[in-house]
């Protein structure tokens, strides 16, 4: 019997289209003999839709047309089942959802919001909990935690939008403690959106205003010199973790930009480039350090499922820094696991098995006491009622 797997993607996020790309890629590689894939697309107004045509990337050229031929739905609980039901006056049960696979990037779908909703319903789902997802979306919280736990990060400062608007001089003075060039970033976005490389102070204010368009919290950090960008993936839970092979990012821009990632169709190294494959990336010792730090970062943020940890390496001085962790990486970081002879189908199988174990642990955990603890208390004065005394008084 196949498992009904609801793949949720899209959402009210500037990374909306990136989520669609990731989800379509993942859905195309799920083993149809084991799972019935049920696409659940969330539009930019947070309406939910389903339909078989949502699996085809070509249909998303016209979003209005996509939604016209899709069914608007809600995910609800009926008894012990989780139902994807149609909306409207005559509601219809369309599918029973056994497990959810979130493939969202950015606000509301990757930051713990969706995970919280699924938790409230009790739906089993793949990936990090509310806490892990929320930390994974906030670059400031990540770096604070990494720094406190001995994981190397580049120098940074951060501030809120209102602090810059009301005390611009104080914020700029704090930034002066850093050495140019600097990266100015929205604290809670991915896909290189809203990031500006600033080479001197004259462009700093403009870059901060650009970041504030996308987030209320801004992080400014020093650029790592002689940099190599290297990724590694971790899969597991808080008890057990495994790591993928490493991947070096080749970029012609000053940093791995949104343009290179998506607009120009930049292809990551997936072992297809023989020249790149034969070229040594970094020393074996540094690779082992990266794996150690990656697992530590995974555990610190309370991640689960699969995550990608991005490193910056100063190739000249042989120093490495953790840049960030992504708790729902694009393509689920399948390309990083292929080097270990793990297919995307096997990767998804492993993630679902982890989610099943997590659900069993949730079911064994006490979240609420049975019965009503207030039934023996007088709600008006807060005193505990003594039933025998009350019954004797009533007889008199």
Q: Tens of pLDDT along 139-190?
A: 999 999 999 999 999 999 999 999 999 999 999 999 999 999 999 999 988 7
Q: Is CATH 3.30.470.20 correct for 224-363?
A: yes
Question: How far, in Å, CA of 44 to CA of 41, rounded?
Answer: 10
Q: Per-residue pLDDT tens for 197-251?
A: 999 999 999 999 999 999 999 999 999 998 999 999 999 999 999 999 999 886 5
Question: Is residue 306 within 8 Å of residue 351, measured between CB atoms?
Answer: yes
Predicted confidence at residue 22, as pLDDT, reads 94
Q: Distance between CA atoms of 270 and 335, rounded to whole angstroms?
A: 6
* Res. 23 pLDDT band, cuts 50 70 90: very high
Choice between 264 and 7, residue whose per-residue pLDDT is larger: 7
Q: Which of 46-50, 185-189, 199-203, 313-317 holds the top average pLDDT? A: 46-50
> In CATH terms, is domain 155-222 a member of 3.30.1490.20?
yes
Does the domain at residues 3-125 carry the CATH identifier 3.40.640.10?
no
Question: Distances in Å between the alpha carbon of 153 and those of 68, 174, 324?
Answer: 47, 18, 9
Does the structure show a pLDDT above 70 at 291? yes
Collect all residues with Cβ–Cβ distance below 8 Å to 187 and sequence separation of at least 6: 138, 139, 140, 158, 215, 217, 218, 219
| CA distances (Å), origin 229, targets 1, 200, 300, 336 | 43, 23, 22, 14
Mean pLDDT of 271-287: 60
Edge-first strand listing for the sheet containing 217-222: 156-160, 217-222, 182-186, 196-198
Spell out the alpha helix ranges (H) of 329-385: 334-338, 344-364
Domain boundaries, the chain: 3-125, 155-222, 224-363
Q: Please give the full DSSP string across 181-219, using - where no structure is assigned.
A: SEEEEETT--TTTT-EEE-SGGGHHHHHHHHHTT-SEEE
Tell me the per-residue pLDDT of 99-136, one tens digit each, with 9 for 90 and over: 999 999 988 999 999 999 999 999 999 999 999 999 99
**pLDDT-derived band at 281, boundaries 50, 70, 90:** low
Q: What is the mean pLDDT of residues 69-81?
A: 95
- Residue whose C-alpha is closest to residue 159's, from 205, 220, 111, 116: 220
Q: What is the pLDDT of residue 173?
A: 96
């Amino acid at each position: 019997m196949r498992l009904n797997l609801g793949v949720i993607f899209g959402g009210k996020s500037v990374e909306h289209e990136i989520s669609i790309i990731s989800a379509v890629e993942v859905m195309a590689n799920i083993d149809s003999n084991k799972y019935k894939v049920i696409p659940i697309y969330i539009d930019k107004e947070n309406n939910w839709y389903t339909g078989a045509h949502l699996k085809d990337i070509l249909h998303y050229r016209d979003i209005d047309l996509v939604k016209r031929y899709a069914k608007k739905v809600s995910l609800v609980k009926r008894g012990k089942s989780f139902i994807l039901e149609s909306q409207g006056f005559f509601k219809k049960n369309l599918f029973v959802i056994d497990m959810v696979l979130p493939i969202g990037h950015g606000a509301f779908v990757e930051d713990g919001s969706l995970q919280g909703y699924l938790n409230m319903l009790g739906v089993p789902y793949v990936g990090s909990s509310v806490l892990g997802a929320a930390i994974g979306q906030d670059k400031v919280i990540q770096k604070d935690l990494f720094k406190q736990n001995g994981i190397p990060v580049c120098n940074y400062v951060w501030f809120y939008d209102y602090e810059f608007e009301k005390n611009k001089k104080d914020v700029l003075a704090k930034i002066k403690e850093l050495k140019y060039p600097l990266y100015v970033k929205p604290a809670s976005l991915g896909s290189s959106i809203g990031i500006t490389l600033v080479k001197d102070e004259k462009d700093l204010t403009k870059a901060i205003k650009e970041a504030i368009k996308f987030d209320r919290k801004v992080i400014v950090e020093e650029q790592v010199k002689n940099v190599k960008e290297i990724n590694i993936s971790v899969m597991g839970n808080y008890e057990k973790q495994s790591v993928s092979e490493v991947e070096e990012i080749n970029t012609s821009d000053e940093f791995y930009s949104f343009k290179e990632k998506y607009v120009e169709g930049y292809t990551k190294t997936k072992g297809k480039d023989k020249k790149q494959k034969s070229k040594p990336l970094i020393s074996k010792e540094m690779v082992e350090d990266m794996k150690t730090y990656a697992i530590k970062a995974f555990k610190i943020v309370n991640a689960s499922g699969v995550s990608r940890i991005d490193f910056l390496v100063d190739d000249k001085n042989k120093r490495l820094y953790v840049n960030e962790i992504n708790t729902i990486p694009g393509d689920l970081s399948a390309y990083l696991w292929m080097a270990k002879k793990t297919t995307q189908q096997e990767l998804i199988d492993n993630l679902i098995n982890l989610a099943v174990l997590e659900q069993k642990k949730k079911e064994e955990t006490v979240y609420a006491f049975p019965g009503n603890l207030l039934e023996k208390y007088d709600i008006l004065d807060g005193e505990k009622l003594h039933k025998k005394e009350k019954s004797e008084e009533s007889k008199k």
